[in-house]
Amino acid sequence: MAKLPQILACVLVVLGFALTSSASIYIVGGSSGWDVSTDLNSWSSDKKFNVGDVLWFQYSSSNSVNQVTKESFEVCNTAKVIETYTGGNTTVTLTKPGGWYFVDGNKLYCLGGMKLMAEVENN
Ligand X SMILES: *[C@@H]1O[C@H](CO)[C@@H](O)[C@H](O)[C@H]1NC(C)=O
Site for ligand X (CB under 6 A): which residue of 91, 97, 111, 117? 91
**Under 8 Å between Cβ of 56 and 87:** no
Give, in order, the Cα–Cα distances in Å from 53 to each of 11, 35, 75, 96, 107: 25, 21, 26, 10, 27
Q: Give the chain's end-to-end CA distance (angstroms, integer).
A: 37
Which of residues 27 and 51 has its CB atom nearest to ligand X in the complex? 27
Number of residues that bind ligand X (CB under 6 A): 2
- The vertex-45 CA angle with 20 and 52, nearest 5°, equals 20
Q: Does 84 interact with ligand X (rule: CB under 6 A)?
A: no
- CB-nearer residue toward ligand X: 78 or 90: 90
Q: Is 89 a residue that touches ligand X (CB under 6 A)?
A: yes
The residue whose Cβ lies closest to ligand X is: 89
Interacting residues toward ligand X by CB under 6 A: 89, 91
